[in-house]
Amino acid sequence: MKGCPFGSHRVIEPKGSLPQAAQRIDNTPRISDNEILIDVQTLNVDSASFTQIKGVCGDSEEAVAAMITDIVRSRGKLQNPVTGSGGMLIGRVAEIGSLLKGRGLETGDRIATLVSLSLTPLMIERIEKIHMDKDQVDIRGKAILFESGIYARLPEDMPDRLALAILDVAGAPAQVDRLVKPGMNVAIIGAGGKSGLLCCYQAKKKVGAGGRVIAVEYSPENADRLSRMGLADHTIVADATRPLEVYGKVKEVTGEALCDVVINNVNVQVTEMSSILITRDGGIVYFFSMATSFARAALGAEGVGKDITMIVGNGYTRGHASLALNILRESAVIRELFERLYV
């Protein structure tokens, strides 16, 4: 039997929707001819979702385990009911539907799914361990990948947890690679975080000697770490929720030219206006942050008469997984830091 390539055949309610918008999907671990069955090893819970869960559970590992089990039991997928977000997983291919055979994937291969857990059928048999500080959960269980679902083979030259952490945000540096050209002024807001550091690296590589990478970071410690890593030409310490402060400090660096491309990687709300103000007329803002408000961005740019292109951070860009993993191979300082933080 062949299912819908987007997985609509597993939607229980509401009918007519796709798995991501669905309230509840069928997580039966029996695949149709165009699905892939995965033995799950570790879940990487989306940062916004895990923060919300920990908030409710008061840092108790048992309560977190119970809440995750509960979500998956009632929805058939790990989609946080409050944030709507999911995360991703790593595991081993258990079975490949007949229609997807011979496409380069074999049973036993170790992969990371690159589609959100918010739409991935998941069945948890047992929770093995919760890594409270890494947003990761080791489990025994099964997941299903639809025909349209994307995945990456896990690399042999780095720990799984490291690959998992990187792959979660792989879309961001890949978009930087696409949008940034030699000689540009590029600002990265939330530059000291996981996706921010990868974006700084890729932007530095693309702008070349004639361009400039301006890192905007909230905490003085992380800004200092960033400077020492040599990943930006200028590091600005500022609160991205205060647009005039950010605007003033960026103008000290760029003058009236402002930035050609701005990448927003923060994890807090109301930072749209900072991004907009520091972008030059005709420039581009790439909102990778899931805390972005569509209306605030749309009305905000109009409100200051800025003719700029604002892009929604699509988590998928062709080649994003290998591009992001390659950064770890190229940059010893980033690898060293990320091993410390995420492994």
Ligand X SMILES: NC(=O)c1ccc[n+]([C@@H]2O[C@H](COP(=O)([O-])OP(=O)(O)OC[C@H]3O[C@@H](n4cnc5c(N)ncnc54)[C@H](OP(=O)(O)O)[C@@H]3O)[C@@H](O)[C@H]2O)c1
Q: Is 172 in the site for a copy of itself (CB under 8 A)?
A: no
Site map (CB under 8 A) of a copy of itself, residues 126-165, x = contact: ----------------------xxx---------------
The one among 63, 291, 333, 337 contacting ligand X by CB under 6 A: 291
- Name the binder of 337 from a copy of itself, ligand X, none, CB < 5-8 A by kind: none
Q: Determine phi and psi for 188, rounding to 5 degrees.
A: -115, 115
Residue nearer to ligand X on the CB measure, 79 or 195: 195
Indicate the residue type of 46: D
Alpha carbon distance 314, 293 (integer Å): 15
Residue nearer to ligand X on the CB measure, 93 or 201: 201
Which residues does residue 43 pair with via DSSP β-bridges, in sequence order? 89, 137
Neighbours of 156 (CB within 10 A): 7
The one among 253, 270, 333, 343 contacting a copy of itself by CB under 8 A: 270
Mark the segment that binds a copy of itself (CB under 8 A) among 62-70, 219-227, 293-301, 335-343: 293-301
- Name the binder of 195 from ligand X, a copy of itself, none, CB < 5-8 A by kind: ligand X
Residue nearer to ligand X on the CB measure, 141 or 192: 192
Q: Is 219 in the site for ligand X (CB under 6 A)?
A: yes
Q: Is 17 in the site for ligand X (CB under 6 A)?
A: no
- Name the binder of 322 from ligand X, a copy of itself, none, CB < 5-8 A by kind: none
Task: Name, in order, each residue with C-beta under 8 angstroms of 97's C-beta and a sequence gap of 6 or more.
Answer: 31, 32, 33, 34, 35, 36
Residue nearer to ligand X on the CB measure, 289 or 331: 289
Q: Is 217 in the site for ligand X (CB under 6 A)?
A: yes
Mark the segment that binds ligand X (CB under 6 A) among 26-34, 150-158, 204-212, 286-294: 286-294
- Name the binder of 310 from ligand X, a copy of itself, none, CB < 5-8 A by kind: a copy of itself
Give the nearest distance from C-beta 121 to ligand X in angstroms. Answer: 20
**236 to 265, contacts with a copy of itself by CB under 8 A?**
242-245
The site for ligand X (CB under 6 A) is made up of 47-48, 168-169, 171, 190, 192-196, 217-219, 222, 239-241, 265-268, 288-291, 298, 302, 313, 315
